[in-house]
């Protein structure tokens, strides 16, 4: 702004003096300097108040988009929330980001985001909860009834020995086994009945067999290029082991890609809408959460436009993620409009087996087979900061254009077939519609879910990234509820001289999970891991990188993501994209609070007690 004032006055000085000859003796330079100082001060005060959302302030900022104010603060200085948000936006290169960075949305001062809840969804979830509760009550009553007999009691005691021996030798997760052993010991009769219904490995075997059949059918459309593997091994000899492991888990290596990283949800959806606008063949969309509001209306309007142009649309979402925030006719209305719709694992379908606990947490968008997105974002207003939930919401995502999109397409169609009860389809019509330029940008699309048990490839890939790190490991996760072996991997890396840093939220979306996250800090901090809490609000981004490679996707560092959810992500090793992610994470640490071991040790005793109790149920959180 000051440069504009200076330029205008310099260009018009002679005209002004000719028209106003009496100003010839006036100190023009001094006047110009005074105006510049006052203008800078005025706009500095405006931008310091951006967070208040005043419409007049937003109009001024849109009228003068080039205004920049540099906020300097000393290391260690305490910042209030507004100052931190301004500093964060400056780091990202745009002060417009403090409020509504989504330009077409922020142009309308009347737009306000929403978090709608529908009574139909609440009633549906409540009904399912009541059905589960009734099962629990019946089991307790049955346990009480049979416990009166000495012979039955002896039988139960003998059965306990066999069950516990079986659990110890089970190949499932140790936390899962410990949880069931505790239930059986605390509830000698009721616990056995619960385990027989819900805990045995065969209780959901029939469902998982159907799911694996769909996944294996989709895997037949994947192509493994030996030439790619050889050229990759020559270019990245130290990374080829991890790549070979991923190929062994049906995650092929793709090359000839272009990748973009988006540090915020607003950035991501701007790019998504632009790409959808240009779609000509088909659009695939899969989200965990769908919430009706401003963002959904924008997406819905755009999808209807593309459908009218003859573009095929497949829209998929998780039933639990959308039940409370979509109207009862949401799916029916989409299908009436010509949008093919699939719902993953309806919550009422398997209440007797508690399979409703297994959700599809994947987020995938594919456009014409050429462009794909994945990341932490969902389709709701808080993900683009149109409404404030838990402070400033930070998410991230990646856009890939190239051969790796086929991996996202196959992952989407596998989940589509599962949601359509195993209706197998031909994937070939959805292959890329263009040839990509040759380059050495390599990717793996990874995915996982409970049907894979006991095999857990994503957890193993995470551990390999930690073990193979030589300089640093940076992680972002909203939930840090990890197994002992994952803690040990992080601690071993830190003690080996690797700079291990984890960013978690300061403002949680789930208070009990936050307590467990904080409880897990102790061993990590003591072992040399650095932990930062994202002060402006809630960080929902799911990222892990070292100096050689990284993953951006839907995977939280918790038991639920590693064992109970269907997840996906993009593994990358291109230097440019890893540097982009690293730069964003370092900037995020700059506006976060570094949590210390001393701080952790001196937390309130009541919190310590609560955390120890909650830790018994960490696998259920």
Query: Which distant-in-sequence residues (6+ apart) come within 8 Å of 477 by Cβ?
Result: 502, 503, 504, 542, 543, 556, 557, 558
pLDDT, residue 115, reads 64
pLDDT at 7 over 90: no
Q: Which of 206-210, 317-321, 333-337, 513-517 has the lowest mean pLDDT?
A: 206-210
Give residue 615's pLDDT.
78
The pLDDT of residue 616 is 72
Other residues' Cβ atoms within 10 Å of the Cβ of residue 354: 16
More confident residue, 567 or 25: 567
H/E segment holding residue 492: helix 484-495
Most confident residue range from 36-45, 97-106, 480-489, 545-554: 545-554
- Look at 129-143, 393-407, 490-504, 544-558 and tell me which has the smallest mean pLDDT: 129-143
The residue among 618 and 244 whose pLDDT is bigger is 244
pLDDT of the residue at 53 = 44
Task: Calculate the average pLDDT of the chain.
Answer: 80
Half-sphere exposure of 288 (CA within 13 A, CB side): 20
Q: Give the mean model confidence (pLDDT) for residues 32-57.
A: 49
> How far apart, in whole angstroms, are the C-alpha atoms of residue 523 and residue 508?
21
pLDDT at 184 over 80: no
Find tokens 């102790």 and name the residue: 522
Q: Please tell me the distance from the alpha carbon of residue 150 to that of residue 35, in angstroms, as a whole number.
A: 95
**Closest C-alpha among 477, 488, 489, 612 to residue 558:** 477
Identify which has the larger pLDDT, 96 or 163.
163
Work out the pLDDT band at 536, boundaries 50, 70, 90: very high
Q: Say if residue 290's pLDDT is above 90.
A: yes
Q: Is the pLDDT of residue 535 over 90?
A: yes
284 - beta bridge partners? 314, 366
Q: What is the predicted pLDDT for the residue at 343?
A: 94
Q: What is the pLDDT of residue 452?
A: 82
Rounded CA gap, 269 and 380, in Å? 11
285 forms beta bridges with 315, 365
Cα–Cα distance measured from residue 522 to residue 251, given in angstroms and rounded to the nearest whole number: 35
Q: What percent of the chain has pLDDT over 90?
A: 50
Q: pLDDT tens digit string along 158-174?
A: 777 777 777 777 766 67
Average pLDDT score over residue span 206-213: 86
Residue 186 has pLDDT above 80, yes or no: no
Q: What is the pLDDT of residue 14?
A: 56
Query: What is the per-residue pLDDT for 284?
Result: 98
**pLDDT value of residue 589:** 97
Residue-level pLDDT at 198: 66
E strand map for 434-564: 443-448, 472-476, 480-481, 499-505, 530-534, 537-539, 543-546, 550-553, 557-558
- Residue 237: pLDDT band with limits 50, 70, 90: confident
SS (H, E, C) 448-460: ECHHHCCCCHHHH
In this prediction, residue 50 has a pLDDT band, given cuts at 50, 70 and 90, of very low
571 phi and psi, to 5 degrees? Answer: -90, 130
Tell me whether residue 248 is exposed, middle or buried, using C-beta atoms within 10 angstroms of its C-beta: 0 to 12, 13 to 18, 19 or more: exposed
Determine which of 2-11, 152-161, 570-579 has the lowest per-residue pLDDT on average.
2-11
Instruction: Tell me how far apart the alpha carbons of residues 594 and 521 are, in angstroms, rounded to a whole number.
Output: 12
Weakest mean pLDDT among 72-86, 251-265, 337-351, 420-434: 72-86
Long-range contacts for 572-577 (Cβ within 8 Å, ≥24 apart)? Answer: 572/259, 572/398, 572/441, 572/442, 572/443, 573/236, 573/239, 573/442, 573/548, 573/549, 574/259, 574/441, 574/442, 577/259, 577/261, 577/398, 577/441, 577/550
Cα–Cα dist 173/177, whole Å: 7
* pLDDT tens, residue by residue, 243-289: 999 999 999 999 999 999 999 999 999 999 999 999 999 999 999 99
Instruction: Write down the pLDDT at residue 578.
Output: 97
Q: In 3-state terms, what secondary structure has residue 422?
A: coil
pLDDT 10s digits, 391-432: 999 999 999 999 999 999 999 999 999 999 867 899 999 999
Question: pLDDT tens digit string along 296-311?
Answer: 999 999 999 999 999 9
Q: Which residues does residue 400 pair with via DSSP β-bridges, in sequence order?
A: 259, 372
Whether 364 shows a pLDDT value over 80: the answer reads yes
Distance CA 28, CA 13 (A): 9
Residue with tokens 């690797």: 498
How high is the pLDDT of residue 139?
65
The mean per-residue pLDDT over the stretch 99-128 comes to 57
């Amino acid at each position: 702004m000051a440069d504009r004032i200076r330029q205008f006055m310099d260009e018009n000085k002679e005209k002004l003096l000719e028209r106003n000859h009496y100003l010839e003796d006036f100190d023009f330079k001094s006047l110009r300097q005074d105006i510049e100082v006052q203008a800078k001060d005025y706009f500095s005060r405006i931008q310091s108040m951006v967070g208040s959302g005043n419409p007049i302030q937003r109009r001024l900022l849109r009228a003068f988009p080039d205004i920049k104010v540099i906020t300097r603060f000393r290391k260690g200085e305490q910042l209030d929330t507004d100052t931190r948000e301004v500093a964060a936006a400056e780091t990202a290169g745009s002060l417009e980001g403090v409020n509504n960075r989504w330009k077409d949305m922020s142009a309308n001062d009347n737009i306000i985001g929403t978090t709608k809840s529908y009574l139909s969804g609440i009633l549906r979830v409540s009904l399912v909860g009541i059905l589960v509760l009734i099962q629990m009550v019946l089991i307790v009553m049955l346990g009480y009834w049979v416990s009166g007999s000495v012979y039955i009691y002896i039988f139960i005691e003998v059965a306990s020995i066999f069950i516990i021996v079986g659990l110890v030798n089970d190949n499932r997760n140790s936390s899962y086994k410990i949880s069931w052993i505790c239930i059986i010991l605390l509830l000698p009769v009721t616990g056995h009945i619960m385990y027989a219904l819900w805990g045995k490995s065969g209780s959901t075997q029939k469902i998982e067999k159907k799911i694996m059949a769909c996944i294996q059918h989709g895997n037949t459309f994947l192509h493994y290029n030996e030439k790619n593997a050889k050229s990759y091994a020559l270019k990245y000899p130290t990374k080829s082991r991890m790549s070979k492991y991923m190929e062994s888990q049906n995650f092929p290596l793709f090359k000839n890609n272009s990748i973009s990283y988006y540090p915020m949800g607003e950035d991501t959806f701007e790019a998504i809408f632009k790409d959808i606008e240009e779609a000509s063949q088909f659009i695939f969309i899969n989200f965990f959460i769908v919430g009706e509001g401003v963002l959904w209306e924008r997406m819905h309007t755009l999808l209807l436009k593309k459908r009218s142009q003859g573009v095929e649309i497949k829209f998929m979402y998780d039933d639990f993620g959308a039940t409370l925030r979509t109207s009862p006719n949401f799916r029916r209305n989409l299908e009436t409009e010509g949008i093919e719709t699939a719902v993953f694992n309806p919550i009422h379908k398997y209440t007797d087996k508690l399979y409703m606990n297994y959700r599809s947490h994947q987020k995938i968008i594919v456009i014409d087979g050429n462009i794909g997105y994945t990341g932490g974002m969902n389709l709701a207003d808080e993900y683009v900061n149109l409404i404030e939930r838990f402070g400033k919401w930070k998410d991230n995502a990646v856009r890939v254009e190239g051969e790796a999109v086929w991996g996202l397409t196959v992952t989407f169609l596998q989940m589509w077939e599962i949601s359509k009860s195993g209706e197998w389809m031909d994937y070939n019509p959805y292959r890329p519609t263009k040839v990509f330029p040759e380059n050495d940008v390599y990717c793996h699309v990874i995915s996982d879910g409970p049907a894979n048990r006991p095999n857990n490839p994503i957890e193993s890939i995470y551990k390999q990234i930690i073990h193979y790190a030589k300089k640093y490991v940076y992680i972002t996760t909203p939930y840090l509820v990890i197994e002992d072996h994952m803690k040990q991997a992080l601690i071993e890396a830190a003690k080996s001289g690797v700079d291990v840093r984890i960013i978690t939220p300061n403002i949680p979306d789930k208070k009990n999970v936050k307590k467990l996250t904080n409880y897990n800090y102790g061993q990590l901090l003591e072992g040399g891991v650095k932990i930062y809490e994202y002060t402006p609000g809630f960080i929902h981004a799911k990222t892990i990188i070292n100096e050689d490679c990284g993953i951006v996707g839907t995977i939280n560092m918790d038991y639920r993501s590693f064992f109970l959810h269907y997840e996906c992500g993009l593994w990358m090793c291109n230097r440019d994209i890893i540097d982009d992610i690293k730069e964003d994470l370092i900037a995020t640490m700059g506006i976060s609070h570094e949590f210390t071991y001393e701080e952790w040790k001196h937390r309130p005793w009541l919190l310590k007690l609560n955390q120890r109790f909650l830790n018994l149920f960490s696998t259920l959180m």
